[in-house]
Amino acid sequence: MPDGVRALDAAGEEFYPCELAAPLHTKSSILTRKVHNELGLPGPRYPSEQLPAGNEEVPPLRTHIPLVAAQAPPQLIGAPLSDFADEACRAMDRHPDAELLVFPELHLFGDGVPDRQRVEALRSSAEPLDGPRVEGLADLARELGVWLVPGSLCEAGTRGELFNTQIVLSPAGELAGSYRKIFPWRPHEPYDPGDRFAVVDLNGAGRVGLNICYDAWFPETTRQLAWMGADIILNVVKTTTPDRALELVLARANAIVNQVFVVSVNCAGPTGEGRSLVVDPEGTVLAEAPDAAPTLLAVDLDLTALDRVRAVGTAGVSRVWAQFRPGEAPIDLPVYAGRIDPATWAPQPRE
């Protein structure tokens, strides 16, 4: 192995496998899968239970996922769902190979132009996730045959809460996952905070971490999602203020320090500041909207890039998820009344 590169087996014991003269990952190499699992690399896309017993060939897991991030102005509260269906269909017509279609935060909850976001209007439009709105959106996802993230929704809680909730709908028309925004933008937003993080598996085409706007300002959120095995952070945004320029920095920083893809899709003008972007695990911008005009960012994400950067390091040197050595003491974090435990530092493997 290259000097300074250390590996652990499943029991946490250090060992030194064969010299690696080339990147670890190819699209269909069984040997690649075995090496990846033997190395104990964080967040492997090839779980050990999927390895062949001998030399038999097994179908490779998906290594790419084509996505479209739709920078668009919000639909007005009360607009028929058919308006959004038409919008989503137009996006798919332009990019028929897309498998993941993502819209901005609160895309179906515009409150006029300028967008007033009145509490009473938002609350009156809220529904539980088993209501007719999500049912209609699920039907749309099935008709399109796509993983659909219609931004976030106003969710009515069982005790009168108002949540800002991001959902993921599967191509089969099922609610695959949901996430209530943990960090509402206070004092400007009326939403009750959620209390748990969420990731969603896309049936062998990666794992997405759900993330809403101001969450990105708290680095713990992206770190937690990466630790939960997320390949792609879907940060849906409704930024109408000049600090969008700072969010572009945060998107790249969160991608770099967690070695994940970040998709930050903001609403278009005249409501939003736009400037949506897609960032790779080393912070390289793969696609970016230059302004607030409505646009579609279409990107084919190469998921092997994530594995590669975690194996050889960001810029070929920094392997943040392989920082600790066996037996090192936990690091207390008084701000959280918690700690970093080296024994549990690496991201969780996919099931």
Contact 275, 288 (CB under 8 A): yes
Nearest to 165 by CA among 215, 207, 205: 215
DSSP SS3 for 320: helix
Any domain includes 2: no
185 and 312 co-located in one domain: no
CATH number where 279 lies: 3.60.110.10
Q: Please give the backbone phi and psi of residue 69, each rounded to the nearest 5 degrees, phi first.
A: -105, 115
231 and 161 co-located in one domain: yes
Any domain includes 14: yes
Neighbours of 329 (CB within 10 A): 9
Give the whole-number percent of the chain exceeding pLDDT 90. Answer: 75
Any domain includes 1: no
**pLDDT tens-digit map of 52-89:** 444 445 445 789 999 999 999 999 999 999 999 999 99
What is the C-alpha to C-alpha distance for residues 347 and 42, in angstroms, rounded to an integer?
Answer: 5
Any domain includes 30: yes
Q: Which long-range contacts (CB under 8 A, 24 or more apart) does 198-204 make?
A: 199/225, 199/228, 199/229, 199/230, 200/168, 200/176, 201/350, 201/351, 202/65, 202/99, 202/100, 202/147, 203/170, 204/61, 204/62
Any domain includes 245: yes
Question: Is pLDDT at 113 greater than 80 in this prediction?
Answer: yes
What is the C-alpha to C-alpha distance for residues 53 and 10, in angstroms, rounded to an integer?
Answer: 18
DSSP 205-251: S-EEEEEEGGGGGSHHHHHHHHHTT-SEEEEE----STTHHHHHHHH
What is the C-alpha to C-alpha distance for residues 172 and 239, in angstroms, rounded to an integer?
Answer: 31
Cis preceding linkage at 47, omega within 30:
no
Question: Is pLDDT at 162 greater than 70 in this prediction?
Answer: yes
Instruction: Please state whether beta strands 100-102 and 207-212 pair in parallel, antiparallel, or not at all (unpaired).
Output: unpaired
Please state the pTM of the whole predicted model.
0.83
Average pLDDT over the chain, rounded to whole? 85
Any domain includes 350: no
Any domain includes 116: yes
- Predicted pLDDT at 348: 78
Identify the sign of the CA torsion 323, 326, 328, 331. Answer: positive
**pLDDT tens-digit map of 119-158:** 999 999 999 999 999 999 999 999 999 999 999 999 999 9
329 and 222 co-located in one domain: no
* Catalytic site positions: 105, 181, 213
98 and 192 co-located in one domain: yes
What is the C-alpha to C-alpha distance for residues 1 and 8, in angstroms, rounded to an integer?
Answer: 13
Which residues are 201's β-sheet partners?
A: 207
Give the whole-number percent of the chain exceeding pLDDT 70. Answer: 82
171 and 242 co-located in one domain: yes
- Predicted pLDDT at 138: 98
**pLDDT tens-digit map of 333-344:** 998 889 988 998
Which residues are 167's β-sheet partners?
A: 178
Neighbours of 218 (CB within 10 A): 15
173 and 118 co-located in one domain: yes
DSSP 62-100: P-EEEEEEEE-PPPBTT--HHHHHHHHHHHHHH-TT-SE
Q: How many domains, the chain? A: 2
- pLDDT class for 350, splitting at 50, 70, 90? low
- At 191, the amino acid letter reads Y
337 and 243 co-located in one domain: no
287 and 312 co-located in one domain: no
Nearest to 173 by CA among 194, 142, 195, 216: 142
Which value, to the nearest 10 degrees, does the dihedral of the CA atoms of residues 149, 287, 274, 225 take?
Answer: 50
DSSP 183-210: S--TTT--PPP-----EEE-TTS-EEEE
DSSP SS3 for 304: helix
- Predicted pLDDT at 57: 52
68 and 58 co-located in one domain: no
Residue range(s) defining the domain that contains residue 41: 7-62+306-344
- Predicted pLDDT at 48: 34
Nearest to 304 by CA among 36, 34, 57: 36
Neighbours of 149 (CB within 10 A): 30
- Predicted pLDDT at 114: 85
57 and 69 co-located in one domain: no
**pLDDT tens-digit map of 240-265:** 999 999 999 999 999 999 999 999 99
- Predicted pLDDT at 351: 57
DSSP 142-154: HHHTSEEE--EEE
285 and 336 co-located in one domain: no
17 and 39 co-located in one domain: yes
**pLDDT tens-digit map of 165-202:** 999 999 999 999 999 999 999 999 999 999 999 999 99
| DSSP character at residue 51 | S
